[in-house]
Structure 1
Amino acid sequence: MKIQWLGHSCFVLTESTGTVVVTDPYGDKVGYPLPPVRADAVTVSHSHFDHCNTQAVDGDPKIFDKVGSYEIEGVHISAFRTHHDDVKGAKRGDNLIFTYRLDGVDVCHMGDIGEPCTAHILDAIGAVNVLLIPVGGHYTIDAETAKDYVDKLMPDIVIPMHYYTEGCEIDLEEVDAFLDLFDEENVTFVEGDSITLDRTRFDGDFETEVIVFRR
Structure 2
Amino acid sequence: MTRVATVCLLALASLAACLAASAPARAQQAERCPKLVASSPFLQPLGPRALPAAYLEPRQVSLAYIGHSTFLIETAGGVTVTTDYNDYVRPDVVPRVATMNRAHSTHYSLNPDPGIEYVLKGWREDRDPVRYDLEVGDLWIGNLPTNIRDMQGGTIRNGNSIFIFRAADICIAHLGHLHHTLTVDDLAVLGRIDVVLAPVDGSYTLDVDGMIEVLKALEAPVVIPMHYFNESTLNRFLDRLAGSQYAVERRESPQVVFSRETLPAKPTVIVLPASRYQ
TM-score by length of 1: 0.84
1:151 is matched by which residue type in structure 2?
K
1:178 is matched by which residue type in structure 2?
F
Asked whether the equivalents of residues 165 and 172 of structure 2 are also in contact (C-alpha less than 8 Å), the reply is yes
Asked whether the equivalents of residues 84 and 176 of structure 2 are also in contact (C-alpha less than 8 Å), the reply is yes
Equivalent position of 1:90 in the other structure: 154
Alignment of 1:68-87 (within 5 A): 68-85=132-149
Equivalent position of 1:194 in the other structure: 255
Equivalent position of 1:174 in the other structure: 233
Asked whether the equivalents of residues 38 and 59 of structure 1 are also in contact (C-alpha less than 8 Å), the reply is yes
Q: 1:48 aligns with which of 85, 89, 104?
A: 104
Question: Which consecutive unaligned segments of at least 5 residues does structure 1 have?
Answer: 167-172
1:13 is matched by which residue type in structure 2?
I
2:90 is matched by which residue type in structure 1?
L
Asked whether the equivalents of residues 84 and 107 of structure 2 are also in contact (C-alpha less than 8 Å), the reply is yes
Question: Which consecutive unaligned segments of at least 5 residues does structure 2 have?
Answer: 1-60, 122-129
Q: Secondary structure of 1:78's match? A: strand
Offset at residue 56 of structure 1 (A): 5.0
* Cα-to-partner distance string for 1:63-100 (whole Å, 9 max, x where unaligned): 112322111112100012111239xx934551111111
* Residues matched between the structures, number: 201
1:5 is matched by which residue type in structure 2?
Y
Q: 1:47/1:132 Cα in 2 relative to 1: closer, same or farther (>3 Å)?
A: same
Which protein is richer in helix relative to its size?
Answer: 2
Asked whether the equivalents of residues 158 and 209 of structure 1 are also in contact (C-alpha less than 8 Å), the reply is yes
Identity %: 26
Q: Secondary structure of 1:151's match? A: helix
Rounded Cα–Cα distance in structure 1 between residues aligned with 2:144 and 2:174: 11
Equivalent position of 2:201 in the other structure: 136
Rounded Cα–Cα distance in structure 1 between residues aligned with 2:271 and 2:112: 25
Question: Is the aligned partner of 1:8 residue 2:68?
Answer: yes
Q: 1:71/1:183 Cα in 2 relative to 1: closer, same or farther (>3 Å)?
A: same
Asked whether the equivalents of residues 38 and 58 of structure 1 are also in contact (C-alpha less than 8 Å), the reply is no
Equivalent position of 2:116 in the other structure: 60
Equivalent position of 2:212 in the other structure: 147
Offset at residue 214 of structure 1 (A): 2.4
Equivalent position of 2:270 in the other structure: 211
103-112 or 49-58: bigger deviation: 49-58
Asked whether the equivalents of residues 140 and 166 of structure 2 are also in contact (C-alpha less than 8 Å), the reply is yes
* Cα-to-partner distance string for 1:133-160 (whole Å, 9 max, x where unaligned): 1110222112211111111111010001
Rounded Cα–Cα distance in structure 2 between residues aligned with 1:35 and 1:198: 23
Equivalent position of 1:170 in the other structure: none
1:26 is matched by which residue type in structure 2?
N
2:154 is matched by which residue type in structure 1?
A
Rounded Cα–Cα distance in structure 2 between residues aligned with 1:118 and 1:72: 29
Give the superposed CA RMSD.
2.4
Q: Secondary structure of 2:105's match? A: coil
